[in-house]
């Protein structure tokens, strides 16, 4: 049994100290599985350095949880944050992502129709954490860890929002992947906010309106926190929802959808593996290569998609346009509208077959609170007051640093294979949408033939 702290070297946080309980929780099949899951999946085809794993990210989250709560423990002794509370928060940070499948939501979307409903990685994380930790900590402590993972019971636990902040998204999970993803993609962290400074200026206060515990920050941090929300939008624009990432993602999703009915692991189908936490532990990014090399002839269609991906014969982006503010067309609505424009003559392909030639995707990028100013969801306080009272920064208090819009919706239409008919239908839809005032602008760089 581990009885001493261990020190790890991390690319973001450098030296990370982990207590014995956390080390024992790391040395479990549930957590070690994260070594085989890339954090960004399809984005590694755009940024070669984006091959970091959920394993290192989760360790980073645990480390940041300890750093933050140690400061709170020192500055707010009245909250009675104990060493055990800090360790439980570290466990929640370690296990918050253990329920992810291979390639995250790409796998989830492909498997959902075969599971009688949507597969939820948060629920699987709870199951796997309970399975792994019930022999390490008692039932009350396990309940605390599971609550911290979910960001719930905010009226009970002062530190409930440290791992998952449902109010505004400022939590150690996001802080770590903002830093880690920008470092791995761009070569350096692209955020000015120093995590330690953010932690030093934070307090945990009671919200008078809801009676819940919330994380509040000194008023002077408002502009720095706005930069965090801007970084979120930048990462979505340039990494997570970049058109190359989206094209690769659609190909990976197609390969999974085509493989799900026929691929087996130890005689079990993928839906059967997902249904059981024990068998779910065997799933990793490796199944993509397993599908590629499986001799089953029924997997030929999936293998052809993977072959195209290997040779970088990606789905082609044939249209990209920004929707006007307030227009909220869905991918299904756009797909149906384009389908109506496909030829239905007897000598043409059936419309449902032609529909497979293109993918309409509405990419929504915002600052984390839909089309609202995220700073309106962050609580601030004045440290010069004897009793810090929660307050909010006035809207547009600094016009120089306040964006004109907080949400952007971009329509991206990809072709799976060249098709004159579907291309003509897409062009016709684009002209119609422009004439109706649905489109703000077309993006000429993407729309170049």
CATH number, domain with residue 422: 3.30.70.2760
Whether residue 241 is contained in a domain is answered as no
What integer pLDDT is reported at residue 108 of this predicted model?
85
| Residues 211, 155 share a domain | yes
Whether residue 285 is contained in a domain is answered as no
Whether residue 300 is contained in a domain is answered as no
Q: What are phi and psi of 445, to 5 degrees?
A: -60, -40
| Residues 322, 178 share a domain | no
What integer pLDDT is reported at residue 188 of this predicted model?
84
| Residues 380, 441 share a domain | no
Nearest CA-CA partner of 363 in 314, 323, 396, 305 = 323
CA distance 118 to 281: 19
Whether residue 56 is contained in a domain is answered as yes
CA distances for 402 relative to 198, 223, 267, 344, 364, angstroms:
20, 9, 56, 50, 19
Nearest CA-CA partner of 43 in 240, 306, 265, 325 = 240
| Residues 413, 397 share a domain | no
| Residues 432, 385 share a domain | no
Angle at the Cα of 52 (from 93 to 364), degrees rounded to 5? 80
| Residues 392, 343 share a domain | no
Whether residue 240 is contained in a domain is answered as no
Domains contained in the chain, number:
2
| Residues 16, 85 share a domain | yes
Run means of pLDDT, 10 residues per run, the chain, 449 residues: 86 96 97 97 95 98 98 97 98 98 88 77 96 97 97 94 96 96 89 83 92 94 91 95 97 94 94 92 96 97 97 96 94 94 62 73 95 92 76 65 87 95 94 94 56
Q: Which residues pair with 360 in a beta bridge?
A: 413
Which structural domain range is residue 319 located in? 315-368+406-449
Q: What are phi and psi of 317, to 5 degrees?
A: -80, 115
Greatest Cα pair distance, the chain, in angstroms, is 81
Whether residue 139 is contained in a domain is answered as yes
Whether residue 132 is contained in a domain is answered as yes
Residue 6 token pair: 């261990």
173 within 8 A of 93, measured Cβ to Cβ: yes
176 within 8 A of 235, measured Cβ to Cβ: no
CA distance 194 to 201: 11
| Residues 168, 39 share a domain | yes
| Residues 168, 156 share a domain | yes
| Residues 378, 319 share a domain | no
What integer pLDDT is reported at residue 314 of this predicted model?
98
Nearest CA-CA partner of 162 in 35, 73, 39 = 73
Q: Any idea of the CA torsion for 363, 364, 368, 374, to the nearest 10 degrees? A: 150
Nearest CA-CA partner of 132 in 7, 52, 34, 273 = 34
| Residues 212, 331 share a domain | no
Whether residue 306 is contained in a domain is answered as no
| Residues 389, 324 share a domain | no
Q: Is the pTM of this model over 0.85?
A: yes
CATH number, domain with residue 30: 1.10.3210.10
What integer pLDDT is reported at residue 346 of this predicted model?
38
């Amino acid at each position: 049994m581990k009885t001493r702290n261990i020190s790890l070297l991390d690319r973001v946080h450098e030296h990370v100290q982990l207590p014995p309980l956390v080390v024992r929780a790391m040395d479990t099949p549930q957590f070690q599985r994260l070594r085989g899951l890339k954090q960004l999946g399809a984005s590694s085809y755009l940024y070669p350095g984006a091959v970091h794993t959920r394993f290192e990210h989760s360790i980073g989250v645990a480390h940041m949880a300890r750093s933050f709560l140690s400061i709170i423990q020192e500055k707010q002794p009245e909250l009675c944050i104990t060493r055990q509370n800090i360790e439980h928060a570290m466990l929640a940070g370690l296990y918050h992502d253990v329920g992810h499948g291979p390639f995250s939501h790409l796998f989830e979307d492909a498997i959902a129709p075969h599971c009688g409903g949507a597969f939820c990685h948060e629920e699987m994380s709870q199951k796997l954490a309970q399975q792994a930790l019930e022999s390490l900590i008692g039932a009350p402590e396990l309940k605390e860890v599971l609550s911290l993972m979910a960001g719930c019971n905010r009226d009970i636990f002062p530190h409930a929002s440290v791992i998952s902040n449902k109010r505004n998204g400022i939590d150690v999970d996001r802080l770590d992947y903002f830093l880690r993803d920008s470092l791995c993609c761009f070569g350096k962290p692209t955020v000015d906010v120093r995590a330690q400074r953010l932690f030093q200026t934070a307090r945990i206060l009671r919200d008078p309106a809801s009676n819940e515990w919330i994380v509040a920050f000194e008023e002077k941090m408002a502009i720095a926190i706005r930069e965090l929300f801007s970084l979120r939008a930048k990462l979505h624009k340039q990494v997570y929802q970049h058109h190359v990432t989206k094209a690769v993602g659609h190909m990976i999703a197609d390969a999974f959808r085509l493989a799900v009915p026929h691929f087996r692991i130890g005689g079990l189908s993928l839906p059967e593996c997902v249904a059981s936490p024990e068998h779910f532990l065997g799933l990793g990014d490796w199944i993509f290569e397993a599908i590629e090399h499986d001799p089953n002839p029924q997997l030929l269609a999936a293998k052809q998609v993977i072959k195209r991906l290997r040779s970088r014969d990606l789905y082609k982006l044939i249209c990209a346009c920004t929707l006007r503010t307030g227009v909220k067309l869905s991918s299904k609505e756009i797909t149906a509208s384009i389908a109506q424009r496909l030829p239905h003559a007897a000598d043409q392909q059936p419309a449902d077959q032609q529909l497979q030639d293109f993918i309409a995707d509405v990419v929504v990028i915002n600052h984390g609170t839909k089309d609202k100013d995220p700073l309106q969801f962050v609580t601030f306080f004045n440290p010069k007051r004897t009793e810090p009272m929660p307050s909010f920064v006035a809207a547009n208090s600094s016009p120089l640093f306040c964006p004109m819009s907080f949400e952007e919706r971009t329509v991206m239409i990809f072709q799976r294979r060249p098709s004159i008919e579907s291309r003509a239908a897409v062009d016709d839809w684009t002209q119609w949408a422009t004439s109706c005032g649905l489109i703000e602008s077309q993006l000429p760089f993407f729309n170049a033939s």
